[in-house]
Structure 1
Amino acid sequence: MEFPTTRVEQPVWVRTLIGWHVVFYALLGVTAAASLTADLSGRRRIVFLGLLVVLGLAYEFIAKPAMISRRRLPANVYRLLMIACVAGAVAIFPQSVFILFIVSPQIWLLSDRAHDAVPLSLLLITAVGAAQLWAAGWSVSAFWDILPWMVISLVVSILLGIWIDKVISQSQQRADLIEELEAARDELAEAHHSAGVMAERERMAREIHDTLAQGMTSIVMLSQTAAVELSRGAVDPVGARLAAIEDTARENLAEARALVAAFTPVALSGATLTEVLRRQAERFAAETGVDVQVSLDMPDDEVAGLPQGQQVVLLRAAQESLANVRKHAGATSVLISLGLSPEGVCIEIRDDGTGFEPQSPARGFGLAAMRGRVEESGGTVQVDSAPGRGTRVQVLIPATAQEDS
């Protein structure tokens, strides 16, 4: 059996050692006091007290540290020295035999394995029995008187030792289990922390993609258009392009500040989702020349009553779809529809562009970010498209999700 040396909380058997220490020193004191009133010669009394002193010092400086450190050499040295001191003390003063009640368990407390303790227990009982027999004059009658006591003492010592061994083993098992549970708890906490960090990174990536990246794309395209118009000598349209660039840059700056402070889009902070969608459509049409229409199949007050989290998801879906139309579709018209269905709130973005194969490997981060955001709200994303047939993106958020955020 193994014993913990460093624990946040010491095992029960270690915390109760103080009781063993008190009982041991108390019995030594009682034995020494009894010897002072016994009929012993001065020399025998001095030798007897010397043996008790040696035993007490050995217990203090060898046995007690060995019980904690589990070092075998000091434990073996103490037990052999203890057997010799007890046997010598009993030979001089037979009434001191009751010391066995405290020294027998020490053999087991200092043993790593049961089969080490049994021989030492047998050696202790034999040595003490021989000391008693020597004090009685080696007579046959004394032997038969002592033998039953020796057998009983050996049995009791072994049974007590087995019980001590079980207590220590169970204490060790519990300590190991507690240590494993604490390690598992720490690992779980670390895993949760890592998952939280990754989730926060993904959310930040989606927010940046849906706001800053798309705004920068608009600025780049407007700048390119302005440069082309300027090269053709068309000065008047350039001013409008520059004004659009300034507006987009200011909105991006506001979005960046909002990302630092919170995650609610700036556009929704002072307007309804309907107003923001119409504003997005107007700006997109002005920047690209694409005809963008917004259709509402639900009253404005119901739109305004949607939870903030749902409005953010619906707005981001529309923004991402428009960004894909700008970059890939080559469309001439786009229809944004917002309404209620038996399943919940639905927004649909349909274009007449070139389309694509939905089963082909996804390109870019946008569609994956949209799916991640919608699925976090308990919703679904459906993309219908085919080459040359345009694209339809439908985002549905269940009615139960309206309780969130």
Structure 2
Amino acid sequence: MESWERTRRRWQHAFFGSWLVLTSAGPLTEVGQVLPVALVAGLAAWYAVWFVLRTPPAGEVPLPYVAGGALLCLGLFAIDRSFLVVCLCVLVPYCMDAVRIGLVAVLSCAGGWLWHSYHHGGSISWTEIAITVLIAVSAATSVGYFSSVARQSAERKELIDQLQAAQEARAAAERQAGVAAERQRLARDIHDSLTQGFASVVMLLEAAQERSPDDRHLAQALCTARENLVESRRVVRALRPGELDDGGLPEALRRLSGRLSDETGIDAHAVITGPLRPLDAQVQAELLRVAQEAVANARRHAGAGRVTLTLSYMEDLVVLDVHDDGDGFDPGRAAAGHGLLIMSERMAQLGGTLLVESAAGEGTTVVASLPVAAR
């Protein structure tokens, strides 16, 4: 994107330079004085100071540049009215970005030309008026064209930036999901093999010790087996999502709402409805991530005073509902929001759906649902 901006600036400099030469070459030849040449050179240098040696932020209008350029143009206009068109060069940098400024420049120059003709000749012919109007319309059309091209380019740049950011966010989410899935697989494998094996060994050694309570080797083997059983369980717990260790998803949502209230003062609470049922570890982890993202959005952007997390166990569905009473937004214009995209992808990967309901001033509701029967 930096190369695109540099290219745009180069075209702007070329546009200014060519327009300055085109509009001042004729009048300088006719006048034939040193002062006009110095003023035109000063105008070029003044432009270079503000737009070549430094780069103003996009959309900024440096008032010192406009004021200095206007003074130089007034000096040229006082020498000869033919230099009036040169005054457009002061606002040429904005003809590509701000159509209003360009149109003001065109109308000012057209009005100045007609006023100068009337002041020196005492009258204005209809031919002069018609020619001036045609030139002004042509110049205004050029300004509008340049402005539309610049606006379209800026929109494309913004879309490309958003696409790159979304791709990076999606890649990060996929990496995170892959790591989480691998940790879950390892936890299951360790639990189903090593942990169960150690538990069986402990039971067999306990039975053997009951028959030979004085056997020192059996006691040592039993102690070692118990230690390894405890260690394998510790590894399994470390591989599972920490938030789901105690009480599963319902307790994790209660802790999440409690932290939100403690840290921000927002009235947040979690509600669990329906008969509890065991859920796949990945389902719990993904629903928790959706809840965390929705709560983070309410905390950062919504200005909410109340947040409610509702987990509903239905006959064939488990539904997570996160509602806030904040400012709300237009979901149709939220395509740039990476969080919504990631939450939707999380649900789609598990065969579920994500619904976002919101309107300005009416709060926001995020509903994530998963088919339990399908899992």
Normalized against structure 1, the TM-score is what?
0.47
Matches within 5 A, 1:181-196: 181-196=163-178
Q: Once superposed, what is the RMSD of the aligned Cα atoms?
A: 4.2
Separation (CA, whole Å) in 2 of partners of 1:55 and 1:89: 10
| Paired residues of 2:95 and 2:146 also in contact (CA < 8 A) | yes
Q: 1:360 to 1:169 in 2, by over 3 A?
A: closer
State how far apart, in whole Å, the 2-side matches of 1:65 and 1:203 are.
Answer: 59
Which residue of the partner structure matches residue 121 of structure 2? 138
Q: In structure 2, what is the equivalent of residue 209 of structure 1?
A: 191
Q: Does 1:56 align with 2:58?
A: no
Q: How far apart are residue 177 of structure 1 and its match?
A: 1.1
Q: How far apart are the structure 1 equivalents of 2:171 and 2:95?
A: 40
The aligned counterpart of 1:222 is: 204
Residues 139, 80 of structure 1: alpha-carbon distance in 2 compared, 3 angstrom cutoff: farther
Quote the Cα distance in structure 1 between the aligned partners of 2:81 and 2:276.
Answer: 97
In the superposition, relative to structure 1, how do residues 29 and 223 fare at CA in structure 2: closer, same or farther (>3 Å)?
Answer: same
1:17 aligns with 2:4: no
**Bigger shift: residues 28-37 or 45-54:** 28-37
Q: Structure 1 residues 10 and 210, CA, compared in 2 at 3 Å: closer, same or farther?
A: same
Map of 1:198 onto structure 2 = 180
In the alignment, which of 79, 87, 100 is matched to residue 92 of structure 1?
79
Distance 1:166 1:73 in 2: 19
Q: 1:169 to 1:128 in 2, by over 3 A?
A: same
Map 1:100-249 → 2, pairs under 5 A = 105-109=92-96, 111=98, 114-131=99-116, 137-141=120-124, 144=126, 146-231=128-213
What is the CA-CA distance between 1:181 and the residue it aligns to? 1.0
- Say whether the 8 Å CA contact 1:90–1:132 is kept in structure 2: no
**Structure 1 unaligned residues grouped into runs of 5+:** 1-6, 257-358, 370-405
Deviation per CA, 1:247-285: give whole Å up to 9, x if none.
Answer: x98xx9xxx9xxxxxxxxxxxxxxxxxxxxxxxxxxxxx
Q: Please tell me whether the aligned partners of residues 97 and 147 of structure 2 are also in contact (alpha carbons under 8 angstroms).
A: no
Counterpart secondary structure, 1:70: coil
Share of identical aligned residues, percent? 24
The 3-state SS of whatever aligns with 1:140 is: coil
Q: 1:360 to 1:33 in 2, by over 3 A?
A: closer
Say if 1:90 and 1:97, in contact at 8 Å, map to a contact too.
yes
SS at match of 1:69: coil
Between structure 1 and structure 2, the one with the greater Rg is: 1
> Cα 1:87–1:221, aligned 2, differ >3 Å: closer, same or farther?
same
Q: Which amino acid aligns with 1:180?
A: Q
Q: Would the aligned equivalents of 2:95 and 2:147 in 1 still touch at CA under 8 Å? A: yes
Q: Which runs of 5+ in 2 are unaligned?
A: 233-274, 282-375
Distance change (3 Å), C-alpha of 1:131 and 1:88:
farther
1:208: Cα distance to partner? 0.7
Shift of 1:217: 1.0
Counterpart amino acid of residue 48 in structure 2: E
- C-alpha spacing 1:104/1:115, structure 2 compared with 1 (3 Å): closer
Distance in 1 of aligned mates of 2:109 and 2:96: 15
- Count how many residue pairs are aligned between Structure 1 and Structure 2: 236
Q: How does 1:345-364 map to 2 (within 5 A)?
A: none
Cα pair 1:48 1:92 within 8 Å, conserved: yes
Aligned to 2:307: none
Question: In structure 1, how many angstroms separate the alpha carbons of the residues matched to 2:4 and 2:175?
Answer: 30
Post-superposition Cα deviations, 1:91-138, rounded to whole Å, max 9, x if no partner, equal 524555664786664442353xx444433331233234444555xx23
